Chains A and B, each alone.
Chain A
Amino acid sequence: ETGVTQSPTHLIKTRGQQVTLRCSSQSGHNTVSWYQQALGQGPQFIFQYYREEENGRGNFPPRFSGLQFPNYSSELNVNALELDDSALYLCASSTQRSYNEQFFGPGTRLTVL
């Protein structure tokens, strides 16, 4: 186990709804990155938070937003859900701004109907 936890484990929503996913980083880690992994594909980078500020963003629309709290836990919010948003959402924590030493959580499986 990496010490990174995510909730919920599974979630079912309908098109147009909003969803919030949560991630608790490993103790001592101040950076959280979020990824979307469609079935059969590699993870795609959504964005990263370092000390409560966004530090890099992938090719995702603004309806994907995030937040990092003083305890370094993080949320991923997705508005106006679309069918293609169905995926495994992974968060990864690390000790510094560098992406390299990332430890992944178990993921949240989101299904949009």
Chain B
Amino acid sequence: KNQVEQSPQSLIILEGKNCTLQCNYTVSPFSNLRWYKQDTGRGPVSLTIMTFSENTKSNGRYTATLDADTKQSSLHITASQLSDSASYICVVSEDTDKLIFGTGTRLQVFP
């Protein structure tokens, strides 16, 4: 069964600190992997998208990595800000273009 699992489920950090969120998937065949940021009660907003051949992609303070061999991805947030408080969802696309969503990591950044 195609699945996307994320860890941790929730995370609390202090403003200015770095953190890393994990995503493991069993989706096959694989097309691409995307990280979304979702504020409470709002729609997800895309942060990065990576294809099979890409190992890393950055978007400002967000850096995503992908290891297609081990089927793992991570999202690293540098110098966290209060506005980074949100859920971060890992989404994997099959070759059929079907999207498989993870359940997300809830990040809270405190001053």
Contact = CB atoms under 8 A, between A and B. Distances in A.
Interface of A: 2, 4, 35, 40-45, 56, 88, 90, 92, 97-100, 102-107, 109
Contacts of B46: 102-103
Contacts of B104: 41-42
Nearest to A103: B46
B21 interface: no
B102 to A, nearest CB: 5
Contacts of A90: 43-44
B43 A98 contact: no
Nearest to B6: A42
18 contacts: A2-B43, A4-B43, A43-B101, A45-B99, A88-B41, A90-B44, A98-B97, A100-B32, A100-B93, A100-B97, A100-B99, A102-B46, A102-B99, A104-B36, A104-B43, A104-B45, A106-B43, A107-B41
Contacts, number: 51
Given A100-B49, A104-B36, A107-B41, 11 more contacts: A41-B103, A42-B103, A43-B89, A45-B99, A88-B41, A90-B43, A99-B93, A99-B97, A100-B32, A104-B45, A106-B42
Interface of B: 4, 31-32, 34, 36, 41-46, 49, 89, 93, 97-99, 101-104
A88 B40 CA distance: 10
Contact of A40 (B42, B43, B103): B103
Contacts of B49: 100
Nearest to B94: A99
A99 B98 contact: yes
A102 B44 CA distance: 10
B42 to A, nearest CB: 5
A4 B31 CA distance: 25
